[in-house]
Amino acid sequence: MPQRLPPPRVASPLKSVNARPRSGASGSWIPSSSGPPPRRYTDPIGLCWPRHEDKLQPPPIFSPRHVRTRATLAPDGPLRQSRRMDESELTAEVTAARAAAVEWSRRVEAEYRSAALTSHLAHWLLEAGLSHDLVRLALEITSDELSHAELSTEVVRAAHLITSGDPSVASLQVDRASLSYIREWEPLELDLTAACLETFCLGETVAVPLFRRLREHTTVISARTALDRILADEVKHRDFGWLLFESLLSGREGALCRDFAAAVLPSMVERLAASYGGLSDEVALPPGHRAWGLMPGREYALALGDATRREYRPRLIALGFPSQALVGLDALESLVSSR
């Protein structure tokens, strides 16, 4: 019977699942109803993080509402322009650049964290003895994420040049505890299933329509260059996730991984719905923000609804998951029907 590993000596926020084994038959699982939801570091773009005021839990990386709140705290600075602009245009240009600097700084951190987590996932794949092709793909994705962090840094530099005339960027400060997974379940394939399902099958799948929407109205050269590369890579990252998931379901622990995934999937979907649902009331951005690759929260919710209808449900049904494991998808699809 699979066993839960003993807790680490130091408390860690990196709980990949909120489930416990049910006594009785091997491979049976029920979700845990006790305790607060864990901090989510398994999502490479931060969109599964709960949206509330608990300071221990970072807000979603792409929250336009948070961006504009933080942007008002940015210091004023000179604006370098090649043409004369009236005061309102100058103010809009600086405001948009400030928002972009905050938002893209958060994306730098997210991409770096994703690189670290994917490299850790590659190590787990080696431990589990899975296909060398999967290991190589994970290492390629690690390199992709580092490139995304570098490109995002260039956008921050461009924004700083407008807001202060100084393109320098502060050193990246990332919580080291957020840069690795922890082992929680035995056998290892269960931890792999949890990380793969939430990070790649859910997170990277919705990232494709999200980045496509972000890119659509982007005209600032550095931001457009970054989004061109990121969008192209996210397709590969999404496909890697579903390929790995299928490999786990067909592997030596496949039956156990399937039961485990069916048990934890509803809670993962519930977190997505809670995170995106709070964004749906934001329908517009100030002038100039879209040019930097930002968009209102409402469009994040719409992207999730589209991903659910076109990707999540068809793929999970094709993999043979029962209807009770997909009960939360209706709430995600409703984000589109309520547009």
Look at residue 209 and tell me if it is in a domain. Answer: yes
Helix, strand, coil percentages (3-state) for the chain, rounded to 5, are 60, 5, 35
Q: Which two tokens stand for residue 34?
A: 């006790």
Q: Mean pLDDT per segment of 10 residues, for the chain of length 339 residues?
A: 48 32 37 37 39 32 30 32 50 91 94 96 97 98 97 96 87 88 94 96 94 95 97 97 98 96 92 78 84 92 90 95 87 69
pLDDT of residue 90: 63
Look at residue 120 and tell me if it is in a domain. Answer: yes
Q: How far apart are the first and last CA of the chain?
A: 46
Q: Read off the DSSP letter of residue 49.
A: S
Look at residue 10 and tell me if it is in a domain. Answer: no
Look at residue 41 and tell me if it is in a domain. Answer: no
For residue 240, the enclosing domain spans: 57-337
**3-state class (DSSP) for residue 186:** strand
Query: At 148, which CATH number?
Result: 1.20.1260
If 0-12 CB within 10 Å is exposed, 13-18 middle and 19+ buried, where does residue 45 land?
A: buried
pTM, entire model? 0.74
Look at residue 181 and tell me if it is in a domain. Answer: yes
pLDDT of residue 284: 84
Look at residue 32 and tell me if it is in a domain. Answer: no
Q: Which amino acid is at 100?
A: A
Q: Which amino acid is at 138?
A: A
Quick check: 227 and 214 in contact, CB under 8 A?
Answer: yes
Look at residue 51 and tell me if it is in a domain. Answer: no
* Domain count within the chain: 1
- Distance, CA of 210 to CA of 105 (rounded, Å): 18
- Distance, CA of 297 to CA of 177 (rounded, Å): 29
Look at residue 33 and tell me if it is in a domain. Answer: no
**3-state class (DSSP) for residue 163:** helix
